[in-house]
Amino acid sequence: MTDTPIISADSHVVEPADFWQRHIDKEYRARAPHAFTGDDGNAAFVVDGKPLGSVGAPSQVGLRFDEPGAVSFEAKWEDVRPGCSEPVPRLADMQRDGINGEVIFPTLGARLYGVIDGDRLPSDFFRTNIYLTFQEDKLGLDALSASIGVDTLMFGSDYPHAESTWPRSQQFLGELLADKTPGDCAKLTHDTAAALFGFDL
């Protein structure tokens, strides 16, 4: 797949330990997520005294290929790959994976909710309102392509999460898209994401 631009429409940043306290308005800081390091050295974010999320699996990109048994929800801050939150190492990781652009979401970000109009078929609603990302599920990609088409489907590497395709995104895409037309490959790898998110290719 090295002959076509690749945009990951589902990548993430692992917020640095001080991110929320540094960037949220002062009036909300007391209730904002804050980093917590346990006695065992493992790091997590806490809100109102309750765990919100760890830095383990969300930052263990590539580990599933090198040491699958080591993937864990537990991790120390020093184990977090620099590309998870720093731009220069992130660009190096993107280059290694053959990714030309990314749409980056926060790891601890809010969830999106939607309501479907009851008078419309779900497939019609999807075609006009919902965009989906895929990683490595050929059966799912083929089923969605057949039912709703490829116009709202986009590749997402899910970097830097443990289940990410990094650093083998090109390999996965080569296998997933081997039977797709060049036009469909362009939509799935970059055209749709570029149009939706404003990338200038």
Read off the tokens for 30. Answer: 């007391």
Taking the C-alpha atoms of residue 120 and residue 177, their distance in angstroms, rounded to an integer, is 30
3-state SS, 122-135, equals HHHHHHHHCCEEEC
Judged against a pLDDT cut of 60, whether residue 29 lies above it is answered with: yes
Query: Mean pLDDT throughout 27-42?
Result: 88
Which are the contacts of 90, defined by CB distance < 8 A and separation ≥ 6?
82, 83, 84
Please report the pLDDT score of residue 177 as a whole number. 96
Work out whether strand 43-47 and strand 34-37 pair parallel, antiparallel, or are unpaired. antiparallel
Classified as helix, coil or strand, 195 is helix
Total-model pTM: 0.75
Tell me the pLDDT tens digit for each residue of 46-104: 888 887 778 888 889 999 999 999 999 889 999 999 999 999 999 999 999 999 999 99
Residue whose C-alpha is closest to residue 194's, from 4, 17, 30: 4
Which are the contacts of 167, defined by CB distance < 8 A and separation ≥ 6?
62, 65, 93, 96, 97
CATH fold of the domain at 7-197? TIM Barrel (3.20.20)
Using a pLDDT cut of 90, give the percent of the chain over it.
54
Cα 57 from chain centroid? 13
